[in-house]
Amino acid sequence: MSNIWGSVHYDMYQYIGADASLYIYAKISVNGEYWGIYLALEAVEQSFMLRNYGTQDGELYKPDSMEMGGSSSSSSSSTPGFGDMTPPSGSGSFPGGSSGFDPENMPDNNDFSFDGNMPDMSDFSPSDMGGGGFSMRGGGSDLNYVDDDLDSYSTIWEGEITGTGNADHRRVVTALKNISEGNDLEKYLDVDNILKYMAVHTFAVNADSLSGSMAHNYYLYEYDGQLNILPWDYNLSFGGMSMGGSASATDMVNDPIDTPFSSTHFFDALLENEEYLEKYHEYLQELVDEYVKGGGFDEVYSRIRSQIDELVETDPNALYDYEEYDTAAELLHETIKLRAESIDGQLNGTIPSTDAGQRQDSSNLIDASHIDVTVMGQFNMGGFADNRKGKREESDDSSSSFEGFSFFGFGGFSGVICLISIRAIYLKADSISMEETCQA
């Protein structure tokens, strides 16, 4: 399900005109062997900056508050438990070049050479993560201004994608300080794009991010002292962080739009500014009226299902059967419609739009008690999955990067993803083939 969720969210970003990765579906083969259907996302790197901003200048970071296995090392890869290992660096170009996405130039059976000495992950277990599991750390990943000491933001610098130095870091800290004080926001923030980011991100109810307690799954872009937020990783949105279904689906569907971030104050100055708050609400209303109620979402959902259903059903590494996939997809469709209904009510004042307001009056909340979010998948602190060995272990991360793309596998639902999505990169593969199956 993470593939439908991810594609819908990125489609929302494209619809509203926000800076976000392009996406397409692809059939992946490793060493000539078919491994299944994947969502291919444009990697956020120099080519992304060139396409969106017309320049490869500027600095890019991927901060992450989570440590894997107790290690203090940081990696640009989002794959859990791999320490400093990163996928091989490629040209970083997306088909069509810097001018934008051109489906006609999508490579057919384009073999990507891979000679790296990557480990065999077939016997991997969670205990291999050097201490096991996850731990949380500070270091500025929540984007809260602390002080002027660069060392207070070490987690941001460790997540650098571009090569950065102290002068670059000083610009970021200066911006964070002024943002926290509400000073000259349009100088220190790409205000309009961040408002669009906030609108789609808030719609998604993605607790595995700055919206929850884990300050990660975003990119920080700085150019000439101005900061921007770029989206990443929506496989645990819409209740995927429920940790066994303890979270109420009604709470999730009615998640307050005016208090959407719990681990950061980075967005507070925008939410407290009447002009910016109104614009943020306008973008939310656009998503409700035009994208969901206006039929845009139904069109995208139907197109995605028509393109990938058969491929999912015949995926040789599927962790769940087609009936489970179909049930989860239909439930996702209903959840997005209910979420739009709640946002509409919050915008017109019939539903409280803050945490405090909903605690005081919950009488008009949209009832979603019949929604079982666990059907759509949930976070699980486990290992990986490999059907071929009869294993059914779980991972909360589904992505691997290669040659300007990140691949999200259809092995299961949100947070329950088959090992192939990681093995496609981290095995000692002679070649990885990606064939376009449908235009996203």
Reported as a single tens digit per residue, the pLDDT across 273-321 is: 999 999 999 999 999 999 999 999 999 999 999 988 988 888 888 777 8
Higher pLDDT, 380 or 257: 257
In the block, which residue shows the tokens 């845009």?
296
Strand order across the 399-402 sheet: 110-113, 431-438, 23-30, 33-42, 405-409, 399-402
Burial class of residue 293 (count of CB atoms within 10 Å of its CB; 0-12, 13-18, 19+)? middle
Domain encompassing residue 167: 2-438
Alpha carbons 325 and 343: distance in angstroms, whole number: 27
Return the amino acid letter for 212.
Answer: G
- With vertex at residue 240, the alpha carbon angle to CA 228 and CA 190, rounded to the nearest 5 degrees, is 10
Comparing C-alpha atoms, which of 17, 34, 5 is closest to residue 290? 17
pTM here? 0.77
Return the amino acid letter for 56.
Answer: Q
The overall average pLDDT reported for the chain is 75
Given a contact cutoff of 8 angstroms between Cβ atoms, the answer to whether 131 and 69 are in contact is yes
Distance separating the N- and C-terminal Cα atoms of the chain:
16
Q: What is the pLDDT of residue 214?
A: 81
Neighbours of 113 (CB within 10 A): 12
Q: What is the pLDDT of residue 339?
A: 98
Q: What is the pLDDT of residue 80?
A: 32
Q: What is the pLDDT of residue 21?
A: 94
Which of 73-77, 324-328, 338-342 ranks highest by mean pLDDT? Answer: 338-342
Measured CA distances, 349 to 114, 258, 267, 346, 440 (Å): 55, 12, 22, 5, 36
Higher pLDDT, 276 or 70: 276
pLDDT at 247 over 80: no
Q: What is the pLDDT of residue 321?
A: 86
The domain tally of the chain equals 1
Q: What is the mean pLDDT of residues 178-196?
A: 98
Least confident of 66-80, 153-167, 247-261, 378-392: 378-392
Alpha carbons 221 and 58: distance in angstroms, whole number: 7
